[in-house]
Homo-oligomer: A and B are copies of this chain.
Amino acid sequence: MLDTVDLSKRTRKTEYKARKDDLENQLGELQRKLRDLELPMIILFEGWGASGKGTLINKLLLSLDPRGATVHSITEPTAEEHSHPYLWRFWTRTPARGRIAIFDRSWYSRFLIEDYDRSIADKVGDRTYEEVNAFERQLIDDGCILLKFFLHISPKEQEARFKELESNPSTAWRVTERDWEKHRHYGRYAKITNLMMARTSTQYAPWTVVEAEDWRYATQKVFSTVIQSVETRVRTHNQTEVRFGSPPPDQDPAPDKLSEVDLSPKLSRSEYGNQLRKHQERARELEHELYHQGRSAIIVYEGWDAAGKGGNMKRLLRRMDPRGYEVIPIAAPNYVEKAHHYSWRFWQVIPRDGHIAVFDRSWYGRVLVERVEGFCTQEEWKRAYREINEMEEHLVNHGTIVFKFWMHIDSETQLRRFQDRQRTPHKRWKMTDEDWRNRNKWDQYHAAFNEMIYRTNTDFAPWTIVESNDKRYARIKTLKTFCAELERQLR
């Protein structure tokens, strides 16, 4: 893409001056519209060294109301960032609805900077392209406006700018040996950049190359592009009820496998006693081994009300080291969380390397309670199966081990446990009216659970059905599954 760009483009000073105030006012007004319509926007900048990113971003930023815009400067990942999946530091920085995030360098730095030091076509790179494209699609499906700018200058212009910076004592430090090194390999970088653009210029998120040799031209082009995109989007938003995102893929009907689960397995008290302690000790050892190897694990607990999630979890964690795990209970999203893509709040608490996160309910709420209770649209929950699979794949790509336990009981067992809870004083607080309301929707929840398992039972993150009519059997099964899989992965 870069080769065909005409870098001679200029904007005259008088023309620039005449349009400047107008562009700034338009932008300010559009920002207020975005806020009113609750549309989030991401503007990201990549580009050559000394192509003027900083100055341009500052111009953009100062034309905006600072209450609604944030700049994120992406530099080398910190140790904390390295010990999380690649997209973690970007997902956690995606803007809330109505806000603007400006990225000075971005998730593309991995290709542009890191690729220089290794084979371009390696597998990690391939996988990361897929991750990035999925990430952008998910944001756009959720309503986000995404603009990607690449500031382009010729090697000759870059050399001139480096020399000018070096000639001034107060700016000389800004040109490093590494910059010159990169300058000498301009051609190689251009090739990497072209490849990157080819692979990530999707229909939903194309790149805009900005001719940046003349700063007035560049400024005007960026401002105009932003204004035009927002205007188009605002117009579309007003015209139709249709969401901007891609439609969910066609889905085959999910066969009812859940009804076929044999819930009869039981364990006697003595068998249980024999196995419990042994596996708990082993779980503790494996927790330490996971820490040593710098791997991480996620354990998702989903299940019917009164299936015994809490007690099961306690047995799993009983002898583990509290420094190595965290239990993350998931309730209804608060209003800060609602202002983001639904998976944003889960990215916030993804465990770092060496650690285990236990989710007491999870992102599956999107296709369960949110689906059944109508808290999201049909399009949204249908899209969520793929989004969830992608998220879990990105975690696994990083090295995270993902467990998903489905705690399954039948209707009679649930009823008996509900009644028992109401009779027992120190258990009564566990019961709410909502539990009875949910029970009345048994069939709807059954359909949602069944479809969830069907569509998200992937090779990299399979479900484990935990037969939980007998709590002892269920507890040993999760412990055994946990230990066996960790042993396999950590061997």
Give A contacts to B, CB under 8 Å. 25, 28-29, 32, 54, 57-58, 61-62, 66-67, 70-71, 73, 78-80, 102, 104, 170, 173-174, 285, 288, 292, 310, 313-314, 317-323, 326-327, 329, 331, 334-336, 360, 426, 429
Contacts and interface: CB of A to CB of B under 8 A. Distances in A.
Contacts of A327: 66
B426 A25 contact: yes
Contacts of A102: 322
Contact of A322 (B57, B170, B292, B321): B57
Given A104-B322, A104-B323, 20 more contacts: A54-B321, A54-B322, A54-B323, A57-B322, A58-B318, A58-B319, A58-B320, A58-B322, A61-B322, A66-B327, A67-B329, A71-B322, A71-B326, A73-B322, A78-B80, A79-B79, A80-B80, A173-B292, A174-B288, A335-B335
A429 B32 contact: yes
B25 A314 contact: no
A62 B317 contact: yes
Contacts of A285: 170
A268 B327 CA distance: 63
Most interface-central of A73, A320, A322 (chain B CB within 10 A):
A322
A73 B360 contact: no
Nearest to A317: B62
Contacts of A321: 54, 58
Tallying the copies of this chain within the complex gives 2
A71 B358 CA distance: 13
Closest 6 A/B residue pairs (Cβ): A66-B327, A67-B329, A73-B323, A58-B322, A71-B322, A57-B322
Nearest to A58: B322
25 contacts: A25-B426, A28-B426, A29-B426, A32-B429, A58-B317, A62-B314, A62-B317, A62-B318, A66-B310, A66-B313, A66-B327, A66-B360, A71-B322, A71-B326, A78-B78, A78-B80, A79-B79, A104-B323, A170-B285, A170-B288, A173-B288, A173-B292, A174-B288, A334-B336, A335-B335
A288 B165 CA distance: 14
A58 B335 CA distance: 32
A174 B289 CA distance: 12
A57 B334 CA distance: 29
Contacts of A70: 326
